[in-house]
Amino acid sequence: MSGASALGADGLELLRNEPSGATTAFVAEPDDPVLIGHYPGFPVQPGVYLVEAADRTARLWADGAGLGAGLELVAMDRCRFRRPVFPGDQVSTAVTVDISEEGGLLTAKASALTVSGAVADIRLRYRRTLAATAPTPEGEAQ
């Protein structure tokens, strides 16, 4: 994603980064001004925060695996919000990653949780651009 971040530049903490995936966490800040209008009298965190957390977690994993260059989000294959995230909730987002043998496609399956249980299931699909996978003059892929 580019542009403004719903979670802010430092809003996501990396908890785990392993060959199969990564886990991050963030807190639904009670003083976030977006909660005032989402929804009046019943503030809940917008689902876009959960999608962004899944995307950023997948990208942190990809960077650690040396696959982050040229990574492009091409689809959100699934997004199911199971329950609301309330101000003050800590959300952890666990992402497992599968890499396709063909075309460098990457699928990230994310589960977002609070102490109350699952809040979202999200599946994102990425591809690596040709520039990122093209050989360098030295003959090694970037």
Q: How much is the pTM?
A: 0.86
- The predicted structure's pLDDT at residue 87: 94
How much is the average pLDDT of 69-97?
Answer: 96
**Residues annotated as part of the active site:** 38
Task: Give whole-number Cα distances, 142 to 26, 27, 45, 67, 104, in Å.
Answer: 31, 35, 38, 8, 13
Residue 130 vs residue 49, higher pLDDT? 49
- Judge whether residue 121 has pLDDT over 90: yes
Q: Alpha carbon 108 to chain centroid distance?
A: 8
Element of type H or E holding 31: none
- Judge whether residue 85 has pLDDT over 60: yes
Q: What is the chain's mean pLDDT, rounded?
A: 88
Q: Alpha carbon 10 to chain centroid distance?
A: 14
Residue 129 vs residue 16, higher pLDDT? 16
- Judge whether residue 19 has pLDDT over 70: yes
- The predicted structure's pLDDT at residue 142: 45
Phi-psi sector, 21: left (phi>0), alpha (psi -120 to 50), beta: left
- 42-66 residue pLDDT tens: 999 999 999 999 999 999 999 999 9
